[in-house]
């Protein structure tokens, strides 16, 4: 250890799923740049290695399928043993497979639910004891603007993000006695690899739909800054980007108009 370094166990520690790209990578870069220990979990080992190479001091990485409960326990246990603590767990891993419900394959439906919601539940359960043991800890779930109002053409995806929102609200009350803060991010459209997957039953990607709809993309760095603010603030849900903020306003004050707009867009 060199002069001025903080010993392992005293530096705050964050574990991020989906850390091989996109939002997970941006959060890792920001927190590492502010002297946090970073752990990454992803099915993409190459992507995690690329993320780690961007961080001062690198990162600890584990190949992790968020649907694998025993793997969650093993990976977080290993991370906490090495880092000495778990201040923040970011449930970020997810997929953006879309399409109308009637045209989605059963396997796509099951996969979206398993990764986007069951994986978040698995992470929360596995992380609870470690977060409880760290004063001032935070569980940060990455939901979506699709959790503000159901998104036609993304019905199953939207439903999983509403489920993440509900879980966040429930655990916010449930875990307060354990000293764990729970919060969510609700980003609008972020131009990450997640949007470049083909919509179920078509040759178009989710990104194509965003562009065709005239929506804007929010820089991924803005989501990382929102994550920092959520960890250090007291807000339960944080909409990120113009689309998410407009939806938040319309869902609260103009729900009838928003519903009509959603129907008109599908026609």
Using one digit for the tens of pLDDT, what is the confidence trace for 163-202? 999 999 999 999 999 999 999 999 987 765 555 555 545 5
Higher pLDDT, 227 or 263: 227
Q: What phi and psi, each to the nearest 5 degrees, are found at residue 68? A: -95, 100
126 is catalytic: no
- Find the range with the poorest average confidence among 73-87, 141-155, 246-260: 246-260
- Find the range with the poorest average confidence among 36-40, 214-218, 228-232: 214-218
Average pLDDT of span 223-241 = 96
Q: Which residues pair with 142 in a beta bridge?
A: 185
Residue where the block lists tokens 């938040």: 248
Higher pLDDT, 245 or 56: 56
Both structure tokens of 155: 């019905």
Kindly indicate the confidence band of residue 99, based on its pLDDT and cuts at 50, 70 and 90: confident
Contact 130, 72 (CB under 8 A): no
| Coil, helix or strand at residue 227 | helix
Look at residue 1 in the predicted model and tell me its pLDDT. Answer: 31
Average pLDDT of span 54-67 = 97
Q: Taking CA 112 as the corner, what is the angle to CA 180 and CA 243, rounded to the nearest 5 degrees?
A: 70
Q: Where are the domains of the chain?
A: 13-266
- Name the average pLDDT for the chain: 88
Q: Taking CA 71 as the corner, what is the angle to CA 61 and CA 162, rounded to the nearest 5 degrees?
A: 90
Look at residue 250 in the predicted model and tell me its pLDDT. Answer: 77
Give the H or E element holding residue 248.
Answer: helix 242-253
Average pLDDT of span 60-76 = 98
Specify the CATH class of 13-266 in words: alpha beta
The percentage of the chain sitting over the pLDDT mark of 70, rounded to a whole number, equals 85
Look at residue 206 in the predicted model and tell me its pLDDT. Answer: 54
Annotated active-site residue in 157, 162, 175, 189 = 157
Q: Please enumerate in sequence order all residues whose Cβ is within 8 A of that of 164, keeping only pairs 6 or more positions apart, or say none.
A: 91, 116, 117, 120, 141, 142, 143, 147, 184
Look at residue 191 in the predicted model and tell me its pLDDT. Answer: 67
Look at residue 252 in the predicted model and tell me its pLDDT. Answer: 82
Q: How many CB atoms lie under 10 A from the CB of residue 267? A: 4
- The per-residue pLDDT for range 12-52, each reduced to its tens digit, is 999 999 999 999 999 999 999 999 999 999 999 999 999 99
Q: How many CB atoms lie under 10 A from the CB of residue 67? A: 15
- Find the range with the poorest average confidence among 141-155, 194-208, 240-254: 194-208
CA distances from 94 to 32, 58, 82, 233 (A): 22, 23, 26, 24
Look at residue 154 in the predicted model and tell me its pLDDT. Answer: 87
Look at residue 245 in the predicted model and tell me its pLDDT. Answer: 85
Look at residue 201 in the predicted model and tell me its pLDDT. Answer: 52
Closest C-alpha to 167, from 199, 133, 120, 129? 120
């Amino acid at each position: 250890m060199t002069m001025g370094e903080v010993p392992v166990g005293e530096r705050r520690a964050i574990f991020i799923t989906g850390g091989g790209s996109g939002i997970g990578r941006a959060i890792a870069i920001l927190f590492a740049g502010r002297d946090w220990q970073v752990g990454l979990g992803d099915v993409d080992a190459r992507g995690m290695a690329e993320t780690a190479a961007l961080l001062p001091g690198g990162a600890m990485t584990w190949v992790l399928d968020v649907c694998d409960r025993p793997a969650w326990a093993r990976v977080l246990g290993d991370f906490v043993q090495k880092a000495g603590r778990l201040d923040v767990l970011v449930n970020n891993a997810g997929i953006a497979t879309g399409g109308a419900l009637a045209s989605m394959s059963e396997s796509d439906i099951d996969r979206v639910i398993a990764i986007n919601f069951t994986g978040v539940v698995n992470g929360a359960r596995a992380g609870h004891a470690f977060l409880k043991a760290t004063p001032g800890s935070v569980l940060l779930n990455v939901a979506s603007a699709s959790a503000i109002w159901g998104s036609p053409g993304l019905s199953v995806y939207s439903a999983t993000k509403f489920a993440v929102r509900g879980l966040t609200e429930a655990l916010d009350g449930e875990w307060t006695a354990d000293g764990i803060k729970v919060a969510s991010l609700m980003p609008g459209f972020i131009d990450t690899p997640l949007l470049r997957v083909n919509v179920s039953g078509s040759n178009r990607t989710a990104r194509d739909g965003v562009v065709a709809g005239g929506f804007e993309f929010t820089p991924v760095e803005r989501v990382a800054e929102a994550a920092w603010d959520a960890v250090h603030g007291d807000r339960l849900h944080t909409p990120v980007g113009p689309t998410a903020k407009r939806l938040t306003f319309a869902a609260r004050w103009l729900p009838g108009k928003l519903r009509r707009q959603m129907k008109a867009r599908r026609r």
